Amino acid sequence: MAHLAVNDVRAKYGALEVLKGISFSIEKGEIAALVGPSGSGKSTVLRALMGLTPVTGGHVALAGDQLDYSNAKSVRAARDRMAIVFQQYNLFQNMTVMQNLTLAPLKIKRWPRAEVESEARRLLGLVGLGDKADAYSDQLSGGQQQRVALARALALKPQILLLDEVTSALDPELVNEVLDAVGKLAAEGMTMIIVSHEMAFVREVADKVIFMDGGQIVESGEPAALFDSPRTDRARDFFSKILRH
Amino acid sequence: MERMIEQIPRFFSAQNLTLLLEAAGLTLAMTLVGCLIGFGLAFVLVFLRQTPGLWALPLRWICIAYVEVFRRIPFIVVIYLVLFFIQAVTPDASLFTIAVIAICLYAVAYTADIIRGGIESVPRTQVEAAEAMNLSRLQTQLKIVLPQAWPVIVPPAIAFAVSFIKDTALVSQVGVFELTFRGKELNNQGYSGILVFGTIALCYFLLSFPLSLLGQYLEKRLGTPRGQRRARKIWRT
């Protein structure tokens, strides 16, 4: 059985239906990439999974458990098992890097402090910021902030990590330091759903690429197959514009 | 004029000075206690006003109505309303208590809007990041939003309290022995009005000016992220 099964999920912003029935599934250890033009609903899929955008229809099953997004307890369960990294990092400005990483593990998960702090240090080392534990976010570059955000999400020990355009807000020379960190996670077998415009990176790490347009999935498949020989005109048109070989 | 100069030594007698000092203390105490309690209650009001969900609609309306109504009533009318209401309920309540309650009711309405503005200045994405980690609404407000809203809230809140020191002169109308009341009393004793109220004016200035400076200092201090961090460190220790 799939680790995460998304079935006919719908979402609305006011009267505008932004997800018109999304279905896909991923296995444990798999990496799925959502690609497509701006406004196609890629980020909304991640937001809906985290209960940040109201889900108006469909079913989501995580490790066999049905999630009901109209039920607060179920939303908590979803947020307990998945973690999201945002495009704009959204580090808590009033806290140090260390406090950002340990807040939820201490207050929400109620794990023991010693364990939480040593894990936080390990994660900061993993993203190459072992010396920044006491820094505040405005003392860090965008790339560093995004790596902290990545470590903060990992500190929650999520079953699935959601990455929402994590390199889109970064200066070009900072993109690779974040992608390297994500690549390390991929190598460790982290289950991830990533929204990205970095096609070369997607091709390298993703097991499955889902091409979206207008709130629907147009086509999905393995990266090489989808990028090189798309079956639909819309996908062919999109990839011919953004892929430079 | 001559009469006034001749009165000066007598006016600044130890007895009168003690009287004025006490009155100034009372004015300051009323303002500080009223504004601090009002400020605290305003946080509760703002929090209740943001309660999500349809069931909380009447609650939100009450909170909005409170702010909108009290901001449109002259302070002197609030004082009389509180006076007559409290006296009807507990006839032996002190005038000081009545003054503090009136100040408090008024301060809630004004500072609630200052607090709301501060909270709304914190990017919505900070709240989302907290929600995504399962932080409760209260935890999000206390740990994430308020610490960031603080620098936006504190300077205007202090400015409000400072300007309110002057407005408390109105409670002399119901007979609280604060500065203006004592001034009228001394004036009635035959002291020159210019001398008496000149001194009272100086007292108000001496009460508000240091507080204004504190407000300006905090505004500068809290204005930059670096200053905010310093201030946080100071408050934590």
pLDDT score of B235: 57
- Chain A residues in contact with B147 by the CB 8 A cut-off are 94
Domain extents in chain B: 2-236
Nearest partner of A194 among A53, A26, A80, judged by Cα: A26
B102 touches B178 (CB < 8 A):
no
Quick: pLDDT tens for A173-222. 888 888 998 998 999 899 999 999 889 889 989 999 999 999 999 999 99
pLDDT score of B12: 87
pLDDT score of B98: 92
- Chain A residues in contact with B235 by the CB 8 A cut-off are none
Q: Identify the residue whose tokens are 């005038």.
A: B95
**Structural domains in chain A (count):** 1
pLDDT score of B232: 61
Closest by Cβ to B125, choosing from A50, A86, A104: A86
Q: Give A54's Cβ-side CA count (13 Å radius).
A: 9
Which portions of chain A are predicted below pLDDT 50?
Answer: none
pLDDT score of A15: 86
Q: Identify the residue whose tokens are 């020379």.
A: A173
Which portions of chain B are predicted below pLDDT 50?
Answer: 237
Whether the CA torsion B116, B118, B121, B122 is positive or negative: it is: negative
Residue span of the structural domain in which A149 resides: 4-242
Min Cα distance B115 → chain A (Å) is 18
pLDDT score of B229: 65
pLDDT score of A129: 94
What is the largest distance, in Å, between two alpha-carbon atoms of chain A?
55
pLDDT score of A131: 95
Which ranges of A50-141 would DSSP assign to H, the alpha helix? 72-81, 97-107, 113-126
Nearest partner of A120 among A90, A158, A84, A156, judged by Cα: A156
Domain B2-236 superfamily per CATH: MetI-like (1.10.3720.10)
Contact A38/B at CB under 8 A: no
pLDDT score of B221: 79
Q: Which residues contact B112 (CB under 8 A, 6 or more apart)?
A: B42, B45, B46, B49, B63, B66, B67
Here the CATH number for the domain that contains residue A79 is: 3.40.50.300
